[in-house]
Structure 1
Amino acid sequence: MKAIAYYQSLPITDTQALQDIELPAPVAGPRDLLVEVKAISVNPVDTKIRRNVQPQDGAAKVLGWDVAGVVKAVGSDVTLFQPGDKVFYAGDLTRSGGNAELHVVDERIVGHAPSSLSFSHAAALPLTAITAWELLFERLQIAEGQGEGQSLLIVGAAGGVGSILVQLARQLTSLKVIGTASRPETAAWVRELGAHEVIDHSQPLSEELRRIGIEHVTYVASLTNTEQHLDQLVEALKPQGKLALIDDPDSLDIKKLKRKSLSLHWEFMYTRSMFQTDDMLEQHKLLERVAQLIDLGTLKTTFGEHFGAINAENLRRAHALLESGKAKGKIVLEGF
């Protein structure tokens, strides 16, 4: 089967950073689906792994953790899907990625794709939707329909996770949603997604909040540059507020949270699959719910740009755009 992989960590400007290769077709295990990959989207995790994880023993490493496709075969213990089902999922970091014609994935982290979306638009959703859902409802513990009189500041609201988090918070809670964006086009995107207010994260956040008449916020979802913004986030949060993050700061002085009794919550959507937790099935359930909300028109895909066919050249372009920090919405590739 066709696949895109790398053999050593290289800058994305190097043509060997991602290569077109041929690999044997994978075989589904007992709880696995064998999926014919129709479309993929690209995430920061792809670029981080490519830059920092050297393949072992000269083996090819296949990236890709956002897939939409069709089930070709199922394992002996599969109960949730059957061949022919259209599916979408974010996969498992401990297994080979989905940048290949065929892919195997545990059924417990897969959802039926929204019937109203094309494969390319469905592929934009899984990783960011899972991350945003878990951050909002499980880490920050905000209940659906609740949040009246409370506020959520989303730092980096125009990115992949931010684009779905803004929608979830606006559509499924009563929170006042404040997004950050630093360019006119990304600020307009965040407003379009439903944010009540948009402020500029290239300026001091506390001053920006005061500019729109807000002294403090109840919750913060910090999706990028948490280390850089920490002092401002602590200042912006109400006493006993909650700070959730998804990025990987080199250091984080959590003593700064003590004076206000602030709590810290880290979201990593691969925890369930990585540790085979007892509640892995929750990711299947939430993807099914997201698909339903998409089909009802409550949520919309965060599809940003279509980069053409799934091949090494187009994936290198996608990685380069992500690394530039200028992507808006999700970058999608489709077909081999």
Structure 2
Amino acid sequence: MKAIGFKQSLPINEEESFIAFETEIPKPEGRDLLIKVQANSVNPVDYKIRQNAVKDQVLDSPKIIGWDAVGIVEAVGEEVSLFNVGDAVFYAGDLTRSGSNAEYQLVDERIVGRKPRNLSIAEATAIPLTSLTAYETIFDRFKYNPATDKGRILLILAGAGGVGSIAIQLAKKLTDLTVIATASRKETVEWCKQMGADSVVNHYDLKDELAAKGIEQVDFIFDCVDLKSYWETAAELIKPQGHIVSITGSSDPLNLNLLKNKSVTFSWELMYTRSMYETADMQRQHNILNHLAELLEEGTIQSTLTTTFNGFTVANLKEAHKLQESGKSIGKNVILF
């Protein structure tokens, strides 16, 4: 099968930042599905791993990354019970395993969902990673409770990105939260409004813009952009007994003492935790993806696809990575095989 990978971490403009090669089609065992990949999408995690995974060596065999994907179940392991050969599926994969930048991929059935019937392959491919991240944040980290959280304010930092785009939709359609998103360019402001945000503020002047809307503090903050830069601001803006969730991490230790007097809860969200550690509730991701498929089929939420690259080639993969690295990507970018 054809695959695209890298032997060392190089700038994307370098000729061998990605290389195409041939390798064996893997065989499914246990609860694994063998998927014939039809499309995948590029997320910030892709370029971050490409930039950092192989800095001090050159691998003998290329590393295959890529996670979001749509495909057809080609074969199943002996313990599979959730899917059959021929099923159309979508998923976000597992950081610890070979990725979707290949014509075939093994994925545990517990983190796979059925492809939404009403979406094109490209539209469906834009969904899994960002939607799982947003869904887990709202319901597993914030633990949204309709009895107590109605009318509370959720601030999403970077509303026009892949995660922010779907988080706005899920929060507006599945909760009674007031949703405020941050954006700074005309096109990103309009995108956030299109996704359903109640209000959009410029992240370069966050406190003043919120104050101009009569908002001094918020109940929930979801950081999708740069926790280190926003940490002190977030600590000021969060209400007593509020909750901050971040997906971005920080290169420096965080001063959690800033949250102490307010008894604020802080949580990380990594949608790969369940698959990396094979947690007891790992199959929740299968259930979430199937719920998302229902929401998409009902028209409750929409795909966040904005850019499609036609053809599984090194050139297209490089262009998709360049777009993500530019910091100007809106919504999701998909490569059709």
| TM-score interval, smaller chain | over 0.9
1:17-166 matches, within 5 Å, as 17-54=17-54, 57-143=59-145, 147-166=149-168
Tell me if the contact between 2:243 and 2:264 (Cα under 8 Å) persists in the aligned partners: yes
The one-letter code sitting in structure 2 at the alignment partner of 1:328 is I
Distance 1:143 1:221 in 2: 16
Match of 1:180 among 176, 179, 182: 182
1:63–1:97 CA contact under 8 A, matched in 2: yes
**Could you list the per-position Cα deviations for residues 36-55 of structure 1 after superposition, in whole angstroms to 9, with x for gaps in the alignment?**
10010001111011010017
TM-score (norm. length: structure 2):
0.97
Q: RMSD of the alignment, in Å?
A: 1.2
Question: Is the Cα contact below 8 Å between 1:146 and 1:174 reproduced in 2?
Answer: no
* Equivalent in the alignment of 2:228: 227
- Unaligned 5+ segments in structure 1 are none
- Aligned to 2:203, the other structure's residue is in SS state coil
Which secondary structure state, in structure 2, belongs to the residue aligned with residue 227 of structure 1? helix
Using a 3 Å threshold, how does the CA distance of structure 1 residues 146 and 36 change in structure 2: closer, same or farther? farther
Question: C-alpha deviations, 1:118-171, integer Å up to 9, x for none?
Answer: 111111000001100001100011136863221000001110000100000000
CA distance in 2, matches of 1:185, 1:123: 23
Task: Tell me, in whole angstroms, the C-alpha distance in 2 between the residues paired with 1:64 and 1:270.
Answer: 13
C-alpha contact (below 8 Å) 1:71/1:85 kept by paired residues: yes
1:148 & 1:256 partners in 2: Cα distance? Answer: 27
Match of 1:273 in 2: 275
What amino acid sits opposite 1:239 in the alignment? P
How big is the shift at 1:221?
0.3
Q: Distance in 2 between matches of 1:287 and 1:81?
A: 14
In 2, the alpha carbon distance for the partners of 1:144 and 1:297 equals 22
1:181 positional shift: 0.6
How far does residue 59 in structure 1 lie from its aligned partner after superposition? Answer: 1.8
Report how far residue 57 of structure 1 moved.
Answer: 4.4
Structure 1 residue 312 corresponds to structure 2 residue 303: no
Read off the aligned partner of 2:274 and give its amino acid letter. Answer: R
Partner of 1:132: helix, strand, or coil?
A: helix
CA shift for structure 1 position 294: 0.2
Give me the whole-angstrom Cα distance separating, in 2, the residues matched to 1:3 and 1:145: 49
Q: Is the 8 A contact 2:306 2:331 kept in 1?
A: yes
1:248 is the counterpart of 2:249: yes
Could you say what secondary structure the match of 2:15 adopts?
coil
Sort the Cα spacing of 1:269 and 1:144 in 2 relative to 1 into closer, same or farther, 3 A: farther
Counterpart CA distance in 2 for 1:24 and 1:66 is 21
Per the TM alignment, residue 101 of structure 1 is displaced from its structure 2 partner at its CA by 0.6
Distance 1:322 1:109 in 2: 25
Residue 265 of structure 2 aligns with an amino acid whose one-letter code is: S
Aligned position for 2:330: 328
How far apart, CA to CA, are the structure 1 residues paired with 2:286 and 2:59?
34
Which shifted more, 16-25 or 292-301? 16-25
Task: Go from structure 1 to structure 2 and tell me whether the alpha carbon gap of 1:112 and 1:145 turns closer, same or farther (over 3 Å shift).
Answer: farther
Shift of 1:233: 1.1
- Name the amino acid aligned to 1:9: S
Contact kept in structure 2, 1:145 and 1:173, CA below 8 Å: no
Q: 8 Å contact 1:146–1:173 — kept in the other structure?
A: no
Between the aligned partners of 1:332 and 1:57, the Cα distance in structure 2 is 27
Greater alpha carbon shift after TM alignment, 186-195 vs 227-236: 227-236
1:187-208 deviations in whole A, cap 9, x for unaligned?
Answer: 10000000000000122x2111
Distance in 2, matches of 1:184 and 1:47, equals 26
Measured after TM superposition, the shift of residue 224 of structure 1 is 0.9
- Provide, for residues 2-44 of structure 1, a one-character-per-residue CA deviation record: whole Å limited to 9, x for no partner: 1110011000011210111111111111101011100100011
Residue 216 of structure 2 aligns with an amino acid whose one-letter code is: E
Give the aligned partner of residue 284 of structure 2: 282
1:240–1:261 Cα contact (<8 Å) kept: yes
Q: CA–CA distance in 2 between the matches of 1:59 and 1:101? A: 17
Percent sequence identity over aligned pairs: 46
SS of residue in 2 equivalent to 1:93: coil
1:198-209 → structure 2 map (5 Å cutoff) = 198-203=200-205, 205-209=206-210
Q: Which amino acid aligns with 2:234?
A: L
